[in-house]
Every structure is written in structure tokens, then in C-alpha cells.
Amino acid sequence: AADTAPDIDKPPLLPLAEKCASIYRLDADHKLNLHMQSASTLVIAGLAHNGDQHDGDGERKVMVGAGGFIEVDIGGSAEYAQPGAEGLTAQQQALDAMHIQAKNLGVDILGNAGAGESGDAMNVRLIARTATLVQVASAGAAGLERILKIAARWVGANPDQVAVKPFTDFNVQSANPAEALALAQIRNLGAPYSKRAYHWWLSKQKFTPFSYEEEMDEIESEGP
């Protein structure tokens, strides 16, 4: 849902779901064809008709493998026919292409970053790619808040005190210790960068859960 109206919208990730269903079907076809291609068919020309190759019911019997044999008439032959595998390569290429399309439709955003991409450029790209999730989360939170306000009136509580804050921080980046070290070295070399600003950056990168004052108190309590 993109809003709290009663009209039902198309699921925002429906194209991705349809692509995944197509991948499932094509993958099943590919695996079936792999099995059929690996199962050769025995072809016998001029099979002998002696009693040794018939079972008790008079049915023709052929023995293959270790200890088995196939007796054929003069000029006959026995061989395995291998099904053609020309379509397997095309199916694999189609699967690879569909996986790439599904990856682009999804939220696999960190894996495609270029080596020289800046942090600001990454943030812009992540925000654009996660816009759908933010929209869904915000609409869901608004709907839940409306329901809880109604429930609050039922029990005699103040509906104005009900608030639901959606989680919209889908831009989760892993902390990079190398960046923290480089920033500390720049600061030690005389860059105009205060301890408070450095701590702010560390907390933003989730290196520490404490405020600046709490962090300083913790450092002092540790002693030398």
C-alpha cells in the first residue's frame, strides 16, 4: 500500500515476484532437460531371438552393465543414443539474464557500487533504490497508527498520545574501520576537526552507542 485509502494498489515488488516465478519455471525446465540429456537411450538393431534372452513369461530380456550382455544377429548393433544438448546453453544464458534482471529489480544495492564511488553518491543511490520500501513502511505505520487511535478511544485512552514511527533507514552501511583510522590520522596531523565532531562521525557509523558526554565519562572511568 502506498497510502491508507481503501483502494488496493498493486504490490510495489510485484515485478520482482513475477520475475522470480519466471526464474523458478525456467530453472525447473533447465534441470529437467539436464536430466533427460544425461539419460541416454539404448538402441538395439538386430536383437537375437534365442531363449537365453527371454524371461519365464516369454518377454524379451536385455541385460546391460557389469556381467550383462546383448546378443544381436549378424549385422546388428547395440548403442546408446545421446539426446542433443543444443538448447541447454541457451537456457543457461536466459537464466543468467533473468537473475541479473531480478537483481536490478530488487534491493541488492551495495554489491553494484563502483570502487571509486563516494559516500554521498552511494547515499543518493541507496535512497533512490529504497524509495519503494520507505513508501510501504510509511503507509503501514500510518495505517497502524489510525487503528491504534481507534482502539484508544474504545478503552477511554487519549488517541493523541498514540504515535507510530516507521522504520525507514534501509540505507544500512557496514562500518569501515579503515575510514575511522584515516580520519583520526588526519585529525592528529592538525586538521580542524574536534573530538566532538569525530565522535559524531563514529556514532553515525554505529561505532559507539554513547553520546559524547557518556563516552568521555566512560574513558575517564577506565583509568590509565
How does pLDDT run across 128-184, given as a tens digit for each residue? 555 667 777 888 888 899 999 999 999 999 999 999 988 877 665 556 788 888 888
pLDDT tens, residue by residue, 30-50: 898 888 887 788 888 876 654
4, 148, 150 from 154: Cα distances, Å:
21, 10, 7
Which residue would you say has higher pLDDT here, 18 or 74? Answer: 18
Distance CA 210, CA 200 (A): 10
pLDDT at 14 over 70: yes
51 pLDDT tier (thresholds 50, 70, 90)? very low
Enclosing H/E stretch for 122: helix 119-129
Distance CA 184, CA 9 (A): 49
Per-chain mean pLDDT for the chain:
77
pLDDT tens, residue by residue, 84-112: 777 888 888 999 999 988 888 775 544 45
Q: What is the pLDDT of residue 110?
A: 45
The full set of domain ranges for the chain reads: 14-102, 119-170, 174-224
Distance CA 93, CA 90 (A): 5
Q: What are the residues whose beta carbons fall under 8 Å from the beta carbon of 77, sequence distance 6 or more?
A: 44, 45, 46
Percentage of the chain exceeding pLDDT 70: 72
Backbone CA torsion sign across 82, 83, 84, 90: negative
- Centre a 10 Å sphere on the Cβ of residue 19 and count the other Cβ atoms it contains: 19
